[in-house]
């Protein structure tokens, strides 16, 4: 690991390094998207290189596919693999029940498909992602481009009856143009402040015409690995009801960790 990482990146790195300890030889893995997941892909590639670990990876975005391929990992599509042993991914927020908000990297659709096609999902995060209640991070909703303004209006109308603090909805932009996802859709960001009933909101949003998927991951995550800048790691297993504290010791390494996205 490079010695000049800032504290947040150090926390992400140790969480990622601890999470890949769950990977066993022969596993079929879902590879998440985002800055924390990029560390995980690098740590996984290091184990493959140093231990001869044999794994198959299903990326959740083009970015992750390009990184994994560049590091020599065996990359396949979900259609080829069909079912996965484990998915490791980041999150924008997680609550005490390990419900998540994801989609800050605009890959929520593929991330949710891959996660739900896995026996287990592990989330890796720094401590700042932990919240008592979801909603401070804008909730991404992937919508088809056709009639997106009508879909936006329907979402705003629906939010009136939901237990949320705010109801602002904005189209995510990429410069001067709407952002386009890997599936050629747009992202609407819901600035809600607080979500009183995430399960209800997730169900209602997906009933709106034009909505493809929302960024609420309910009852999908099994374990969260939380990293700290000093190398401390906490592993919380929602099913076993356990919390395990570990320490990751930093050590010099080579350029497999260069330029995380």
Catalytic residues: 111
105 is in an annotated binding site: yes
Q: Tokens at residue 216, please? A: 């609420």
Neighbour tally for 51: CB within 10 Å? 9
**26 and 52 in contact (C-beta within 8 Å)?**
no
147 is in an annotated binding site: no
- DSSP string across 108-140: HHHHHHHHHTBS-EEEEEEGGGB-SSS-SS-EE
The whole-angstrom separation of Cα 82 and Cα 58 is 10
Task: Spell out the long-range contacts of 164-168 with Cβ–Cβ below 8 A and sequence spacing 24 or more.
Answer: 164/135, 164/192, 164/193, 164/194, 164/195, 164/196, 164/201, 165/135, 165/192, 165/193, 165/194, 166/191, 166/192, 166/193, 167/192
104 is in an annotated binding site: yes
227 is in an annotated binding site: no
90 is in an annotated binding site: yes
89 is in an annotated binding site: yes
91 is in an annotated binding site: yes
38 is in an annotated binding site: no
34 is in an annotated binding site: yes
Q: Which residues, listed in sequence order, are joined to residue 164 by a DSSP beta bridge?
A: 195
102 is in an annotated binding site: yes
259 is in an annotated binding site: no
Helices (H), the chain: 7-19, 35-51, 62-70, 78-81, 108-116, 148-159, 198-205
Annotated binding-site positions for substrate: 33-36, 89-92, 102-105, 129
Annotated binding-site positions: 33-36, 89-92, 102-105, 129
């Amino acid at each position: 690991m490079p010695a000049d990482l800032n504290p947040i990146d150090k926390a992400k790195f140790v969480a990622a390094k601890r999470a890949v300890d769950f990977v066993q030889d022969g596993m079929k893995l879902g590879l998440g998207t985002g800055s924390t997941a990029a560390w995980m892909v690098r740590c996984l590639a290091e184990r493959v290189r140093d231990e001869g670990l044999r794994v198959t990876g299903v990326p959740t975005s083009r970015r992750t596919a390009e990184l994994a391929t560049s590091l020599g990992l065996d990359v396949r599509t979900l259609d080829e693999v069909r079912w996965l042993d484990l998915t490791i991914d980041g999150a924008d927020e997680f609550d005490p029940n390990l419900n998540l908000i994801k989609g800050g990297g605009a890959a929520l659709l593929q991330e949710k498909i891959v996660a739900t096609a896995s026996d287990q999902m592990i989330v890796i995060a720094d401590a700042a992602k932990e919240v008592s209640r979801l909603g401070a991070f804008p909730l991404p909703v992937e919508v088809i481009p056709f009639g997106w303004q009508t879909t936006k209006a329907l979402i705003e109308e629906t939010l009136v009856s939901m237990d949320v603090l705010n109801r602002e909805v904005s189209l995510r932009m990429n410069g001067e143009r709407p952002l386009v996802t890997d599936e050629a859709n747009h992202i609407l960001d819901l600035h809600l402040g607080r979500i009183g009933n995430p399960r209800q909101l997730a169900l209602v949003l997906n009933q709106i015409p034009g909505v493809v998927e929302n960024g609420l991951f309910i009852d999908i995550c099994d374990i969260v690995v939380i990293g700290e800048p000093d190398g401390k790691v906490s592993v919380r297993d929602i099913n076993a009801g356990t919390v395990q504290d570990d320490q990751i010791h930093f050590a010099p390494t080579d350029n497999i960790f260069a330029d995380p996205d």
